Structure 1
Amino acid sequence: MRVFVTGASGWIGSAAVDELLADGHQIVGLARSDASAAALAAKGVEVLRGDLDDLDALRTGAAGADAVINLANKHTFDAAANNAERLAVQTIGDELAGSDRVLMIASGINPVAGRASTEADPSPLHGPDAPRGGAENLALSYQDKGVHPIVVRFAPTVHGAGDHGLIRMLVTGARTAGFSAYIADGANRWPAIHRSDAARLIALGINKAPAGTILHATTEEGVPTRAIAEAIAQGLDIPATSVTPEDAVTHLGWLGGFFAMDLPTSSTATQTLLGWTPTGPTLLEDLQTSSYFQN
């Protein structure tokens, strides 16, 4: 297939592109910078210059593709980022309408009280004012317009050597403060997935997932946040310390509130549907390496 990928040079996207190329797909990658364009071209990827706000570029990429994978995100978690994500999904969906072509989008995990969330749990986020612009439900609505939507809900940490996401931010905060924080007793859980496993899931998903499918990109249902904090403390040779939720926000900003969430998440249905068997290291195994603790 000819696959148009936004976020093709990003943390998850670059690994996914490698998997898609290995499977024999022709890739068109959206590139915002000269460096990104050069990195994609070196892999044999056709480069389309633009970014998430360039709706004409998104239309062009989608128009010439058999499948679209939208992995781009501004990561500012504000109204502008939410709006950009929604407009991107809407623009691509409108271009694909009536074609039965695949539209795969990245989404996030939502907590479910009292149990692990599953792929059968609908997202509570609707409309342009919702986090991520309600893009998950918007994408799924395009099934009624002749599109083949697939949603991939990623764990809050997609880890591995070179990660500069949330775990790296926790490490940086701990190094600055001189202690590694967990909230209250640290029993709340974060799901996790290794980057290589996330990339393989994406490649399998565009071929195997039926229209309207929700996939969970998680391999560990929930790692206790105290264990994460203690692994970071060991790596930095500093203490791990319990803090209140209020102090966590003071210490870590918005990430403190997010780190306090309990987000156990199952991927059993995803693994069964795709025949996907994760093989990457666990989060705590990754935190035993030096890659997270190098300045």
Structure 2
Amino acid sequence: MRVFVTGASGWIGSAVVPELISHDHQVAALARSDAAARALRKAGAEVVRGSLDDLDTLRGAAADSEGVIHLAFKHDAAFSGDFKSAIAADRGVVTAIGAALAGTHRPFIATGGTPAVPGRTATEHDGRPTATDVVDDNSPAARAGTDEMVLALSSRGIRSAVLRLPRAVHGENDPGFITSLIATARDKGVSGYVGDGSQRWPVTHRLDTARAFRLALEKAPAGSLLNVVGQEGVTVRSIAESIARHLGVPNLSVPAENALEHFGWLGALVSLDQPASSAITRELLGWQPTYPTLLEDLDQGHYFR
């Protein structure tokens, strides 16, 4: 299958591209920089130069493909607090790709995040956005409305699906939340957790995540909302204890009211219990995680080099 991939040079995308190529798919990858283009060519992909703002380019590349995996997102804008512009850009991309694929019954796999459900483990049945979520606002919750836009494309003759990633996708060279927790521990001289540290994070290894995207491209039914979760809930305290052991610093319980002061923007995330299940996804796709768990990955030492 010829597959157009956005975000192909990113943390997840750079694992998805070789996963696709190793299973006999051809990859056309969006690249907005010379460095990204060089890396993608080296990986064996055809390069499509452009950005998420080049909607004509995206429409053309999608029309020329037999399937699309959309991984890119304007994280810089989102992390700076401007979620509204990042979400608006993402919805523009979904609209453009949807127009190109309408009536083809080709797959369109987009990316979301697992929901947090108070008091229990979230499943694939949870977090389905309502009409109010579709309203453009300046919060991460509005991204659920984009998920709904993707799923609604199934009524237009597109095999659309959303793969929801957990809070931490881990592995070597991880630029995400686990690395940020380690950086905070180095800076503070202690490895912290909030309260008793029983808050649970769903996590998945990067290479297991890449395989899930490939399987979704090949077999996910139209309108699927899927959770790519390797471990339903690793406690924040166990993560903090592993970090403390590797850095040689003490553990510290941080009162909930001091979480933002201690952890910065991560304070809200480490305070939240947010386990998620992938049982339905595993059965639907035949997906089984095989790579190291998060604590096993931390024990390999690459996070601390």
Q: Who is 2:264 aligned against?
A: 253
Q: Who is 1:36 aligned against?
A: 36
Q: Who is 1:145 aligned against?
A: 156
Which runs of no fewer than 5 residues in structure 1 stay unpaired? none
Shift of 1:228: 0.8
**Alpha-carbon displacement from aligned partner over 1:217-236 (angstroms, at most 9, x marks no partner):** 11100001111111111111
Q: Who is 1:17 aligned against?
A: 17
Task: Name the aligned partner's letter for residue 238 of structure 1.
Answer: V
Shift of 1:53: 2.0
Shift of 1:255: 1.3
Shift of 1:277: 1.6
Question: Match of 1:98, SS?
Answer: coil
Shift of 1:79: 2.0
Take 1:88 and 1:254, find their aligned partners in 2: how far apart are those partners? Answer: 28
TM-score normalized by structure 2? Answer: 0.93
Q: Who is 1:75 aligned against?
A: 75
Amino-acid identity (%): 49
Take 1:123 and 1:290, find their aligned partners in 2: how far apart are those partners? Answer: 38
Q: Who is 2:295 aligned against?
A: 284
1:135 lines up with 2:140 in the alignment: no
**Alpha-carbon displacement from aligned partner over 1:2-54 (angstroms, at most 9, x marks no partner):** 10000111111111111100110110000111111011111221100112222
Task: Name the aligned partner's letter for residue 118 of structure 1.
Answer: T
Question: Match of 1:173, SS?
Answer: helix
1:170 lines up with 2:181 in the alignment: yes
* Number of residues of Structure 1 aligned to a counterpart in Structure 2: 294
CA 1:133–1:80 in structure 2 vs 1: closer, same or farther (change >3 Å)? farther
CA 1:74–1:258 in structure 2 vs 1: closer, same or farther (change >3 Å)? same
CA 1:245–1:91 in structure 2 vs 1: closer, same or farther (change >3 Å)? farther
Shift of 1:165: 0.7
Question: Match of 1:253, SS?
Answer: helix
Q: Who is 1:86 aligned against?
A: 91
Stretch deviating more after TM superposition (87-96 or 222-231): 87-96
Deviating beyond 3 angstroms after TM superposition, the runs of 4 or more aligned structure 1 residues are none
Task: Name the aligned partner's letter for residue 168 of structure 1.
Answer: T
Question: Match of 1:171, SS?
Answer: helix
Take 2:276 and 2:121, find their aligned partners in 1: how far apart are those partners? Answer: 5
Question: Match of 2:48, SS?
Answer: strand
Task: Choose which of 113, 120, 138 in structure 2 pairs with 1:115.
Answer: 120
**What value does the CA root-mean-square deviation take over the aligned residues?**
1.3
1:181 lines up with 2:192 in the alignment: yes
Shift of 1:148: 1.2
Question: Does structure 2 retain, via aligned residues, the 8 Å contact 1:127–1:133?
Answer: no
Question: Does structure 2 retain, via aligned residues, the 8 Å contact 1:157–1:193?
Answer: yes
Take 1:127 and 1:98, find their aligned partners in 2: how far apart are those partners? Answer: 27
Question: Match of 1:161, SS?
Answer: coil
Question: Does structure 1 retain, via aligned residues, the 8 Å contact 2:128–2:144?
Answer: no
TM-score normalized by structure 1? Answer: 0.96
Which runs of no fewer than 5 residues in structure 2 stay unpaired? none
Q: Who is 1:206 aligned against?
A: 217
Take 2:144 and 2:61, find their aligned partners in 1: how far apart are those partners? Answer: 22
Task: Name the aligned partner's letter for residue 128 of structure 1.
Answer: D
Question: Match of 1:23, SS?
Answer: coil
Question: Does structure 1 retain, via aligned residues, the 8 Å contact 2:115–2:127?
Answer: no
Question: Match of 1:230, SS?
Answer: helix
1:104 lines up with 2:109 in the alignment: yes
